[in-house]
Chains A and B, each alone.
Chain A
Amino acid sequence: MEMAILDHKNNWVAAYASVIGNGHVAAGLPCQDSCVHQIINPTWGVAVVADGAGSAAHSDIGSDFVARNAAHCLQEVVNRRKWATKEQLPEQNDWRSEALKVTQIVRQRLETFVQSKAYKSNDLACTLLFALYSPFGILYAHIGDGRAAFSTAEGHWDALIAPFRGDEANETVFITSNIWTEAGVDMYIKTGRVVADIRAFALLSDGCEKGSFEVNVWDEENQKYHDPNRPYIKFFEPNIQGMQQLAKEQKTQEQINEIWAGFLRSGSAQFKQETDDKTMIFVYNLTF
């Protein structure tokens, strides 16, 4: 069993879960979100969130496939490139090149899987958001929507990505979308890195965004609503205390995830009401 406690082997504590939304329960749909978190070595880890399209027939299978394969590929990249043995993060160009390869491999594997099961690609449509974290910072990439936040000091949180949104509220792009041209890849596959001592970070599907980010608020100056894409400090800071407590109590990863899933299900009125599936991977650096 994977242990989450602080010892000389692991500096990070993670909580991660995907829980079904009320709307999916009412409509008899499965949970279409998936997430994967893996410890690569004592200081590096990988986190992946994939959100299946509500309109796609088997997006639960798609998001599971994509999340697992992306995590596996990313782990391979870290090992092959020996990133964990170096004293710095790879350069942005280097990371983008590897991240794009990962998304392309996952897309190709998905296509093979689609054909073997006689699905259509769009049946497995899902977004993809992933991060590699290390003592030197975070490497991240995403296709579609979702949110991500990171903290380098107590009380300070910043957004890691800007979700892709179309004109309509429920419009985004998926790994299965027609984006695999040079221009499409430039426009729709975003990558980046944060070179800093990371205290904590979170990756989440859009089902969690209203409960943890300011995403649709009134802008007094411009007299209109806008999306500041601002992690809500009063959401994230108290949850860090929860992570510290769970680590102190030496809970297993399974126990932490169970508690975390309960929180995502009904820990706030917003989470309780949310119709969409909810996923959040929350990682805290215990050395802070």
Chain B
Amino acid sequence: MSYFHGETPDNYEQKCLCTLVLDTSGSMSGSAIRELNRGLLEFYAAIEEDLIAANRLEVSIITFGSSIKTIQDPALIDNFDMPTLNVSGTTRLVDAVQEAMRKTEQRKQWYKETGQPYYRPIIVLITDGEPDRDQDVNGLSAEIQESVNAKRFTFWGLGVKGFNQSILNTICPDSAPGIPLSGYKFAEFFKWLSNSIGIITKSKEGESIELPPVSDWAQMKF
């Protein structure tokens, strides 16, 4: 016999913004872009299966080659189809990450203005190359470090075969050094990312969040 029949109120879900900043420069052609596209689709599917994450996670996608393109403004995955990325051009990495930071701040302001509770946004950079010479890596590094310290967002950098570990480490905050991707295991990385988002979207603030262990998609543990 069932004793309790309390009904459920209508509440909107809080939001978690994840901005993917993806390298689509010429060097990503072939297996790299093919596997990245496959990984994005698997990421989409994993979020779609997780009812809570699907209602909370807003995905935004910015690509960079010779130009910076916002190919997806922040949206719940129900509201868009994952695009297929093409490659071309050089590596305006710094401009792209700065665009992601600017848009992240804008979205946060919008959450605040509209009274929507939100989790700390996440920016994920995926790159295989060195930024163009005119790109101010040290300036970006300082901006990211300062923002991460101020808890404006969480930043993860993923290096794809051929990337420059030293530059990626310069860009990434001390708390989360650049992660070298093993082969083209984007699918495994995105599975980890979706699991991590699942945990973040239910966590409470503290010193550090216990994320799932980085496994075979990374070349080394961190």
Among A86-94, A134-142, A216-224, which stretch is in contact with chain B? A216-224
**A275, B201: Cβ atoms under 8 Å?**
yes
The answer, among B7, B112, B198, for a CB contact under 8 Å with A234, is B7
**B contacts with A: majority SS:** loop
Q: Which of A27, A222, A237, A263 has the most CB of B within 10 A?
A: A27
The answer, among A216, A226, A260, for a CB contact under 8 Å with B14, is A216
Q: Which residue in chain B gives the minimum CB-CB distance to A264?
A: B4
Q: Which residues A189-223 have CB closer than 8 A to chain B?
A: 210-219, 222
**A54, B206: Cβ atoms under 8 Å?**
yes
**B8, A270: Cβ atoms under 8 Å?**
yes
The answer, among B4, B5, B198, B203, for a CB contact under 8 Å with A26, is B198
**B202, A275: Cβ atoms under 8 Å?**
yes
**B202, A245: Cβ atoms under 8 Å?**
no
Which residues of the other chain, A, contact B12 by a CB distance below 8 angstroms?
A: 216-218, 225
**A214, B11: Cβ atoms under 8 Å?**
yes
The answer to the question of B3 belonging to the interface, with a C-beta cut-off of 8 Å to chain A, is yes
- Bitwise interface map of B from 13 to 36 toward A, beta carbon under 8 Å scored 1, else 0: 111000000000000000000000
The answer to the question of A99 belonging to the interface, with a C-beta cut-off of 8 Å to chain B, is no
Q: Given that A216-B12, A273-B52 are known contacts, is A238 also in contact with B206, CB under 8 Å in the complex?
A: no
The answer to the question of A85 belonging to the interface, with a C-beta cut-off of 8 Å to chain B, is no
**B8, A268: Cβ atoms under 8 Å?**
yes
The answer, among A171, A217, A267, A269, for a CB contact under 8 Å with B6, is A267
Q: Given that A216-B13, A239-B4, A275-B198 are known contacts, is A172 also in contact with B204, CB under 8 Å in the complex?
A: yes
Q: Which residue in chain A gives the minimum CB-CB distance to B15?
A: A169
The answer, among B2, B7, B204, for a CB contact under 8 Å with A235, is B7
Chain B residues close to A by CB (< 8 Å): 2-15, 51-52, 112-120, 151, 195, 198-210, 212
Chain A residues close to B by CB (< 8 Å): 21, 23, 26-27, 29, 51, 53-57, 122, 125, 165-172, 174, 210-219, 222, 224-227, 232, 234-239, 241-243, 245-246, 259-260, 263, 267-271, 273-276
23 CB < 8 A contacts A-B: A53-B205, A54-B204, A55-B210, A125-B206, A168-B151, A169-B117, A170-B119, A170-B202, A174-B204, A210-B9, A213-B9, A216-B12, A216-B14, A222-B115, A225-B115, A232-B7, A234-B7, A235-B9, A238-B4, A243-B3, A267-B6, A271-B8, A276-B202
